[in-house]
A and B are shown apart, each in its own frame.
Chain A
Amino acid sequence: MQQTRSVEIGTGLFVLFGMSALFFLTTQTTGGDGFSVSDTFEVEARFENVGSLKSRAPVSMSGVTIGRVTSVVFDPESLDAKVTMVIDAKYDKIPDDSDASILTAGLLGSQYIGLQAGGSDTYLEKGSEIYFTQSAIVLENLIGKFLVGSQSGDEE
């Protein structure tokens, strides 16, 4: 019986050890935005071009992560991309005329949504839509524009 007990204790320790390892991996190596709040509200925004924005990308304001993207879908009727994001419920005083732009972390990093505060007295709440958006900067378009612009710079 003594032997059985030590086997059981050993197994228990092993499984605990393994579980904590798994827990460590899921929490400490991923989700650098550190956003894991359960009390959130959902807003959406439409972009002409989302670039390589993916769900789970961070939503940040002044460089602080306040939410994350939950879905990126193409809307076949309005012919643009509809991005749904959740924002931590404690940030309930974000002006509803704030504008959202898709930015890139570093030169080649992943993309995220940056919010720029507006001046309105009404705030973003559940189901609001952010109307002022700025699409992702696509490198090819940028280069294209630059080339075209330098050839006939006075057209616009």
Chain B
Amino acid sequence: MKALIRDIYNTAHEFVRTFGAFQLFFLRLLRYSPRVLMRRPRLVVKQVYNAGALSLVIIMVCGFFVGGVLGLQAYANLARFNAEDSVGTVVALALIKELGPVITALLFAGRAGTALSSEIGLMKATDQLSAMEMMAVNPVRRVLVPRFLGGVIAMPFLVAIFTCIGLFGAHVVAIDLLSVDVGAFWQQMQLSVDIDDIHEGVIKSFVFGVVASLFAVWEGYNAVPTAEGVGRATTRTVVISAIAVLILDFMITAVML
């Protein structure tokens, strides 16, 4: 019984400690961010390329099919009420407000997040971070901050691209395959989508970008410096990012409604 209480205490203690360390880590990244952005923009550019441009293919392919399936489903259900013209509305709202940011964030965690955490973990395991320390270079500033910023900058663009390609996918399915009227498709969409909906999507994509990049960098930096540890950190990146993104999505939606 005593042992159990002690275990619970230790676990709680460890949890609070990790949580606090995580906050401090986040603050440290934020504190260095402006300086890195001003003085070493090239480092950030390279990471925007890694996180953004290299994720384009998966984002575009997934966006197209998500949009397409939304078009199919919306059509199948709306046709029962003779409301095929609203397919555009349904698809656009779903993509802009929810699916665009959320699915992009999940794909981002799987593609760019894992790449980040395994890269950083391996740099740690092969003493590259210690070597930087020894060369009087702060690895947080030189390695972590550019990668974090790269993810944060790339994410809103990825979401916008995903959403556009999704609309295109829905357009192809609804108009070319199911012969919904093209005018009705776009007009209905334009009537019901408000600029606020786009704001919501952009805010979400920004928040998700921060969260997914933050967890990737954190897990990589705190990985146990062995092959197994790096592997585990990579897995945890995906799991934690996915959970955090979905919880935050719920919270943001609830607040913005």
Among B47-55, B69-77, B249-257, the one that faces the other chain is: B47-55
CB contacts (< 8 Å) of B191 on chain A: these are 32, 105, 109-110
Q: Is the CB of B190 within 8 A of A31?
A: yes
Contact partner of B158 (CB less than 8 A), chosen from A7, A18, A30, is A18
CB-based A-B contact count at 8 angstroms: 86
Question: Restricting to A47-95, which residues have a CB under 8 Å from any CB of B?
Answer: 56
Question: Restricting to B1-59, which residues have a CB under 8 Å from any CB of A?
Answer: 42, 45-46, 48-49, 52-53, 56
Q: Mark A1-32, 1 if CB is under 8 A from B, else 0.
A: 00010011011011101110110111011111
Whole-angstrom distance between the Cβ of A105 and the nearest chain B Cβ: 7
CB contacts (< 8 Å) of B56 on chain A: these are 14, 17
Q: Mark B172-190, 1 if CB is under 8 A from A, else 0.
A: 0000000000000011011
Q: Indicate whether B119 reaches chain A with its CB closer than 8 angstroms.
A: no
Q: Indicate whether B96 reaches chain A with its CB closer than 8 angstroms.
A: yes
Q: Is the CB of B52 within 8 A of A18?
A: yes
Given A25-B163, A25-B198, also A4-B158 (CB < 8 A) = no
Whole-angstrom distance between the Cβ of A129 and the nearest chain B Cβ: 28
CB contacts (< 8 Å) of B186 on chain A: these are 28
Whole-angstrom distance between the Cβ of A113 and the nearest chain B Cβ: 15
Q: Is the CB of A29 within 8 A of B92?
A: yes
CB contacts (< 8 Å) of B193 on chain A: these are 29-30
Q: Is the CB of A30 within 8 A of B45?
A: no
A109 to B160, CA, bound (A): 27
Which A residues have a C-beta under 8 Å from some C-beta of B?
4, 7-8, 10-11, 13-15, 17-19, 21-22, 24-26, 28-32, 56, 105, 109-110
Which B residues have a C-beta under 8 Å from some C-beta of A?
42, 45-46, 48-49, 52-53, 56, 92, 96, 154, 156-158, 160-161, 163-164, 167, 186-187, 189-195, 197-198, 201-202
